[in-house]
Structure 1
Amino acid sequence: MAIISAILVALVAVEHVYILILEMFMWTTPRAQKAFGITKQFAKESKSLAANQGLYNGFLAAGLLWGLIHPNAVIGQQLQLFFLGCVLVAAIFGGATAKRSILIVQGIPALLAMIAVLMAQ
């Protein structure tokens, strides 16, 4: 179960690195506009806000990766649970206030990873 939980946590981290890239570097591209359902004008106007948001997604990814490589397995699992919890709360909030799909795209993978980490203890 430890291998499965590590894979799931890594996938959530990779997802957040991808979100970081979209929000920080690709916000005004058609790809990001389609992914986030925004207009070209809104993308231009909100570029600095999106970059800041992307940075926070990078922090989530960094925390998850830190949990995976931490030399103390117990502390590593605690880090993973904390950062997965942050992702889950953000997904619930985003799903309730912005786009419902956030709950599915970010929340479900985080929840599955959290369950796997708890089962691996």
Structure 2
Amino acid sequence: MGRLLLPRIAVALVAIEHAYILVLEMFFWNKPLGLKTFNLTQELADATVTLAANQGLYNGFLSAGLFWGLFTSNRLFKIFFLACVIVAGVFGAATAVPKIFYTQALPAIIALALVLALDKPSARNA
């Protein structure tokens, strides 16, 4: 049980982060918290609020998948959704803001490494 705790905590933190991003992008994008978080002007935020909500929804799907992985005995859910977060984080860093790599992709890379190293599959959930 001890070897499973660290990867579960890491996956949970990534899931919580993406749930928080959902809230920021869907509900606070053009509010003071969203403006400050994403360094936006009011005009740009108002013009892109629908796009941000769509983006937030995708972050919610990533979060939901990671939470699902925590509540199943199959580690493949965790691996798949962490890989999705990594791809999204690398793409976001390359095309939008480089710090996205450190805030989104890197935590998912660490969590994935922990899952692969410590969350060994049992005979029934390869």
With the shorter chain as reference, the TM-score category is over 0.9
> Which SS does the other structure have where 1:16 is aligned?
helix
**The residue matched to 2:97 in structure 1 has which SS?**
coil
Residue 58 of structure 2 is matched in structure 1 by 56
> Letter of the aligned partner of 1:3 in structure 2?
L
- How large is the Cα RMSD of the aligned pairs? 0.7
Aligned partner (choices 99, 103, 107) of residue 101 of structure 1 = 99
Q: Following superposition of structure 1 onto structure 2, how do residues 16-95 of structure 1 map, counting pairs within 5 Å?
A: 16-70=18-72, 73=73, 75=74, 77-95=75-93
Deviation (angstroms), 1:36:
1.2
- Tell me the percent identity: 50
Structure 2 CA distance, aligned partners of 1:40 and 1:4? 40
> Aligned letter for 1:50?
A
TM-score (norm 1): 0.94
Equivalent position to 2:114, from 97, 100, 116: 116
Structure 1 stretches (4+) deviating beyond 3 angstroms? none
CA drift of 1:2 comes to 1.0
- Greater helix fraction, Structure 1 or Structure 2: 1
- The partner residue of 1:10 within 9, 12, 37 is 12
Compute the displacement of 1:5 (Å).
0.2
Number of equivalent positions: 117
Q: Distance in 2 between matches of 1:117 and 1:13?
A: 14
What SS class does the counterpart of residue 116 from structure 2 fall into?
Answer: helix
1:41 CA displacement: 0.4
Q: Could you report, residue by residue, the CA deviation over 1:6-51 in whole angstroms, capped at 9, with x for unpaired residues?
A: 0000000000000000000001112111211211101000111100
Deviation, 1:100, is 0.6
Q: Any gaps of 5 or more consecutive residues in structure 1?
A: none
Distance 1:28 1:15 in 2: 19
Larger radius of gyration: 2
